[in-house]
A and B are shown apart, each in its own frame.
Chain A
């Protein structure tokens, strides 16, 4: 009698233990709430004004120089764009775009989203938000999985592939010259060197005010100017004045991948964990039940 009782008590303890384990696994996927951050006006940002831009590419060169990025050989297509796009070793580039008002230069770099799909899907935490708001990348933590390259709505991060077969690679992208900022040397090199003030940097709240005024000024001149980045993807830290639809610049009007990434990471994966927890608990419950109901000596 006594023996039997202690057996049941032990089962209960085991049961509680496993319940906790099941619950723990189910909750293990809960992402830190910090990822759903709100953008603050004292965060830093870059503002790009294509009307002022003369396409001198000083930004592009300065970026390469500060970040010690090697030259890229490009196809001699006889056009202005060289290299032809962002890559693992080109984090800032001027391209030619045809808009309603004719041909314009446009500067491409990381948009530093607040609602950043790359940060959401990064399995290592290598991509993260700097306290100043932009998206930083810790290359030591990166394991080269490349999810960021596939989820970025702007196609910004690129893999520097060492071996495509083993998957040995590292992600690379503009990090807002994080080292310069934190060392107190200055701001993003691209904005610092711009000779015409097309790229400027500063507090995001102040830049927004400046951008709105500039948009109004351009509109008064009859240009179809608009601001891009105030609310897109939770608010970008690279603000742009556009002279046409975002699509004319290859930018999505509504970036969708942050929502997709969040649905994957915060709905599908946690549901999977509930399935794991339920399976574990169910099996353990059955185990306890069957242990008492079916006696080995009666089994053939």
Chain B
């Protein structure tokens, strides 16, 4: 595909390669479509300044929306991995943090703030930051479920001493996950380096050049990516 940027003479050629399957994208957007209403309806109970929306019939309605969305939110990963069990192994392998992810952490400030690519070690289909985000999402998914289900069905069944802690931990999971969503949203929508991220989550494809630059371990394979990276470092040391 060729594109011409507004007000610029040259034509850029982009070679698109597949990155996410249809099911992965569907899962991502269904997760979004349930998480956002859950966060909004939950925050109506959380923020005193939203109190008018929590009262009476409106409050009964937002609590109902929270429950309907919670069912889909909770079942989504389970159904997804029942349908595509092999992706479970792939995703777990992709999201597991490794020692070399420290390299991402060290290079991240210069990379994200100044656009310095040189010090960033090669990353897989998901970089270490995405991994951290993903792992926290897994953790908070469990926390929401473990606390939310007894909050739904447990009143009068479980001891109030336990219920009180459940609400507090439900809140904490919300605080952590909403903060993560804000960062995720900025990187996906507004950060210039990440321009292809939203494209690939919408259409499933990414630019080959972008993939080589940002996800070398995935694009070239881990072995070749590391060799290229070592060679680049040696070359830089010579100069």
Binding site for B on A (CB under 8 A): 28-31, 123-126, 140-147, 149-151, 155, 159, 164-168, 257, 260-261, 264, 268-269, 272, 275-276, 279-280, 283, 286-287, 289-291, 293-300
Contact = CB atoms under 8 A, between A and B. Distances in A.
A149 B154 CA distance: 12
Nearest to B45: A123
Interface residues of B, number: 49
A165 B56 CA distance: 18
SS class, residues of chain B in contact with chain A: helix
B148 to A, nearest CB: 12
19 contacts: A123-B44, A143-B56, A149-B160, A150-B164, A159-B155, A166-B60, A260-B164, A268-B171, A269-B171, A272-B174, A272-B175, A276-B179, A279-B183, A280-B182, A287-B190, A289-B113, A293-B114, A295-B192, A299-B192
Contacts, number: 134
Nearest to A296: B192
Contacts of B153: 164
B64 interface: yes
Nearest to B175: A272
Contact of B183 (A124, A140, A283): A283
B100 to A, nearest CB: 23
A146 B179 CA distance: 27
Contacts of A272: 171-172, 174-175
Interface stretch (B46-54, B91-99, B118-126): B46-54
Top 8 nearest A-B pairs by Cβ distance? A143-B59, A294-B115, A272-B175, A123-B45, A141-B55, A150-B163, A279-B179, A150-B160
Given A151-B160, A283-B182, A294-B192, A299 B63 contact: no
Contacts of B191: 290
A276 to B, nearest CB: 7
Given A124-B59, A144-B60, A264-B168, A149 B156 contact: yes
